Amino acid sequence: MSDTPTKETAPKLTQAAIVRAKAPKTAFKPADVSPSRRQRSYSIRLWSVRNARFLEGFYKRFAGLFLTLHPFWNWIGYGRAERPVTFVERQVKGLMFDCRMCGQCVLSSTGMSCPMNCPKQLRNGPCGGVRANGNCEVEPDMPCVWVQAWAGSQRMRDNEAILKVQKPVDQSLRETSSWLRVTAQAAAEREASKEEAA
């Protein structure tokens, strides 16, 4: 009987594993990829996805409060408010969602799973490399952000928002506040509709 591996028994090599195997071996290992650090992030990130419905409602109330404060933001100037608000946004969303501060948040559409954590930074669904256990092709110990996004989105009231096609990331908005941008847009829309009605 031959020992040649059959199609079923041969180990499945992913594209990422092949690229990694071919990469030159060096002593350098970036600190940012410590498995224990990532594991901690995953736990909180996964909690956020499990509680997507609660966070959806909480965010709606929070966005309403920010919109109520529009005259205040206007008074101090959105530009001046940007730095402190961005700081707070980074701390809060960094802890809860492992936010990468893309500046154009889509958490409300993606079940509270941040798509910027996808190593390929896909904004409209998973690549073809999701593992059978639902983990990422590139980072085998990380749950695929898009598998999580679908699970989280199905717990939300607006469970069809995930079907909306997202625009490519506008890199010029990185490190800016989504909270302030959404507030300013909502305020402008509210004023425009008031003018139309008058």
Strands, E, within the chain: which ranges? none
Tell me the one-letter amino acid at 178. Answer: S
Q: Which is nearer to ligand SF4, 73 or 115 (by Cβ)?
A: 115
| Residue 55 lies near ligand SF4 (rule: CB under 6 A) | no
Q: In whole angstroms, how close is the CB of 138 to ligand SF4 at the nearest point? A: 18
Q: How many angstroms separate the CA atoms of 2 and 10, rounded?
A: 14
Site for ligand SF4 in 76-135 (CB under 6 A): 93, 97, 99-102, 105-107, 114, 116
Q: Which is nearer to ligand SF4, 65 or 95 (by Cβ)?
A: 95
Q: In whole angstroms, how close is the CB of 94 to ligand SF4 at the nearest point? A: 8
| Residue 145 lies near ligand SF4 (rule: CB under 6 A) | no
The candidate with the shortest Cα–Cα distance to 173, out of 163, 162, 184, 181, is: 181
Q: In whole angstroms, how close is the CB of 123 to ligand SF4 at the nearest point? A: 8
Q: Which is nearer to ligand SF4, 18 or 163 (by Cβ)?
A: 163
Residue 118: how many other CB atoms lie within 10 Å: 21
Phi-psi region of 15 (alpha: psi -120 to 50; beta: other; left: phi over 0): alpha
Could you please report the per-residue DSSP string of 92-136?
A: HHHHHH-----SS--TTTTTT--GGGSTT--SSS--TT--TTSB-
Q: Which is nearer to ligand SF4, 69 or 122 (by Cβ)?
A: 122
Site for ligand SF4 in 157-186 (CB under 6 A): 178
Residues that bind ligand SF4 (CB under 6 A): 93, 97, 99-102, 105-107, 114, 116, 178
